[in-house]
């Protein structure tokens, strides 16, 4: 998400950035106010009423659907800051204005009818075997309203099959999953592109997914992987964006990741926040967009590359998995920041293990259970 130039004048407010140690984290309220119709001040209030960070933007409206849920304690804390004149309640129109597309987007990317920028897709049957080209085509027929389809790897002929099945107005967010097979994976992508499309069909290529968050690799190692990927992609004729996807909290805790990608591609799931209900998923995701943007000093646009809600599994605090709550959460995300979000996932992944809280299989937006 693009924000205006960050104003760092100490006369406005001192900024302190919170970086929670774990994946779960406390919910934060955000208060915005406009001073003299020129400067919009956005202050994040911590769970105990403390000021966590402040961002001032000139000639811009910074919207936040979470303002409507601001607690009286947070509002009181904000009032103690002399520069915060009043708490602003955002509307759907101002949220839409704030959710600008990233610099890598084409002018038509905002004309999506699905309500979100894209959706993720995995080409596997319930037993883990590869879906046929016909099955992939059938799956993609339900995804025609999304401008971006995100894939994670190159196995199962998925790049080839999705290229053949996608609409002419759709682009692919491609991924290299195995870091010991970067060049081979890019060769597979290039071959599929040569036979069934062009590099214009590619929105972004990711080198890895959640490598730092998983504890598998360090920031320096990821930097090396991205460099290898860039080199191979350039040699293959690709000139578009290259990123390494990680979680929002991994970026906040490891800001060195900010310099590696052409824009910040981060995964953020409100279900794993103990204090966030389905109806608040959108405002929570929007808050993570701002936190990542702030962690990267406002230098990089932010795209949420995974976000959704499980339809089955264990209740986790205020987060209750159900099909109805999944629909509520998805609607909230679309309303708050859909232009900057790729939904997770198109269909349930029955081939996966149950995972934490028994939710891993059940994120399918187009699945019936």
DSSP sequence for 123-136: -B-TTSPBPPHHHH
What are φ and ψ of residue 241, in 5° steps? -65, 145
Among 58, 306, 314, 369, the active-site one is 306
Q: Which two tokens stand for residue 83?
A: 């520069």
Q: Which residues contact 227 (CB under 8 A, 6 or more apart)?
A: none
Residue 306 annotated among the catalytic residues of the structure: yes
Q: How many helices (H) and strands (E) does the chain have?
A: 9, 12
Name the E strands within 129-211: 148-150, 171-176, 202-209
Residue 174 pairs with which residues in a beta bridge?
205
DSSP string for 270-337: GGGSTT--GGGHHHHHHHHHHHHHHHTTT-S-EEEEEE---SSS--BTTB---HHHHHHHHHHHHHHH
User: φ, ψ for residue 38 (rounded to 5)?
Assistant: -125, -40
Catalytic residues: 306
């Amino acid at each position: 998400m693009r924000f205006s130039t960050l104003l760092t004048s100490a006369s406005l407010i001192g900024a302190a950035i919170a970086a929670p140690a774990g994946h779960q984290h406390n919910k934060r309220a955000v208060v915005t106010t406009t001073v003299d119709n020129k400067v919009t001040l956005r202050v994040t209030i911590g769970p105990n009423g403390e000021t966590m960070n402040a961002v001032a933007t000139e000639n811009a409206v910074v919207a936040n659907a979470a303002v409507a849920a601001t607690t009286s304690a947070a509002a009181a804390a904000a009032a103690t800051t002399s520069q915060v004149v009043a708490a602003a309640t955002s509307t759907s129109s101002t949220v839409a204005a704030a959710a600008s597309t990233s610099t890598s987007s084409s002018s038509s990317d905002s004309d999506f009818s699905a309500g979100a920028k894209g959706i993720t897709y995995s080409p596997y049957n319930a037993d883990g075997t590869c879906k046929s080209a016909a099955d992939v085509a059938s799956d993609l027929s339900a995804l025609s309203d999304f401008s971006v389809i995100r894939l994670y790897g190159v196995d199962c002929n998925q790049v080839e099959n999705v290229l053949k099945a996608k609409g002419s107005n759709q682009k692919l967010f491609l991924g290299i999953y195995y870091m010991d097979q970067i060049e081979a994976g890019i060769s597979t992508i290039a071959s599929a592109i040569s036979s069934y499309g062009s590099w214009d069909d590619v929105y972004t290529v990711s080198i890895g997914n959640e490598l730092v968050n998983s504890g598998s690799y360090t920031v320096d190692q990821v930097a090396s992987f991205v460099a290898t990927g860039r080199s191979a992609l350039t040699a293959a004729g690709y000139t578009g964006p290259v990123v390494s996807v990680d979680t929002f909290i991994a970026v906040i805790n490891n800001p060195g990741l900010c310099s590696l990608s052409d824009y910040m591609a981060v995964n953020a799931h409100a279900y794993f926040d103990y204090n966030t209900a389905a109806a608040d998923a959108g405002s929570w995701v929007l808050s993570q967009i701002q936190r990542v943007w702030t962690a990267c000093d406002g230098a990089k646009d932010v795209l949420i590359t995974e976000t959704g809600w499980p339809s089955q599994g264990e209740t986790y605090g205020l987060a209750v998995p159900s099909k109805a709550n999944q629909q509520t959460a998805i609607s909230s995300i679309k309303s708050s920041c859909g232009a900057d979000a790729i939904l997770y996932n198109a269909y349930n992944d029955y081939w996966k293990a149950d995972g934490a809280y028994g939710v891993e299989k059940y994120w399918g937006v187009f699945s019936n259970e």
